[in-house]
Amino acid sequence: MFRVRVGMLVLLMVVVLGFTFDAHGTWAKENSAFRNVSKGSPSVEYVITGKARVWEGTYLYRVKDGKKIISNGFGTASVGAPEWGDFKQVITLPKSPSAMKKTLKVEIYEESMKDGTAINKLTLSLKKGKFSEANSAFKKIAINDPKVTYSFKGEARVFEGVYHYAISDGHNYLAKGYGMASAGGPEWGAFSKKVRIPLSKMPVNGTLMLELYEESAKDGQPINNVDMLLDQLPWN
């Protein structure tokens, strides 16, 4: 029993001394190259493009999960009616149980000048594709491959300020890349990064891990690695 208690105490000391607890509830290990690493809340980004012929170029949209509206807003086409104008609408859905669903719908419409009701409404599945659906106000609609956006920040003390990152689900790498801190070693430099992963690449469930590291000047191998929990799927 004494050995068990001593072992537990040693483990607790390692955790307390080797890790910091960030504002989002994730243990982030520190070392000589990385410190104060934290993550932001993820979101899903959709980009819708097309042509609109609406009064003063103004259109409205809403995203629905069944009958529930989870996002809404408005945008402006390049010209107003009676001409056809180009539009590009970015829709960002914050982390929620609905945000990654493949059954979401988007409604694009304009408001009646008479009573403010929705008119010329076009309803589409919120997924990647080019849509043949059209009416007198909207046509040639396309939706990009939606992206899940992750963000993280911290401080790095790495050669020439270059750090590397990798995001994995434990089986496959979903994203890899590099960034620049505000200063190179031996100084500490601040860094922040946004990474977009296609929704089509996201696992249905599981754990996503973020790995930060620098490359060895000798052989290019990862050194001074720091791992932290980035996300848990599905979103609840």
Structure tokens at 136: 């007198």
Residue 217's pLDDT is 87
Structure tokens at 98: 């609905």
Give the number of C-alpha atoms closer than 13 A to the C-alpha of residue 128, restricted to the C-beta side: 10
Structure tokens at 111: 């408001």
Residue 30's pLDDT is 80
For 65-109, write each residue's pLDDT tens digit.
Answer: 999 999 999 999 999 999 999 999 999 999 999 999 999 999 999
For 5-57, write each residue's pLDDT tens digit.
Answer: 333 333 333 333 343 434 444 445 689 999 999 999 999 999 999 999 999 99
Q: Which residues contact 157 (CB under 8 A, 6 or more apart)?
A: 32, 33, 34, 181, 185, 186, 187, 188, 189
Taking all residues of the chain, what is their mean pLDDT, rounded to a whole number?
Answer: 90
Angle formed at CA 168 by CA 145 and CA 99, multiple of 5 degrees: 40
- Return the SS3 of 31: coil
Lowest mean pLDDT among 17-26, 113-122, 205-214: 17-26
Cβ pair 99, 92 in contact under 8 A: no
Structure tokens at 148: 């899940």
Q: Is the pTM of this model over 0.85?
A: no
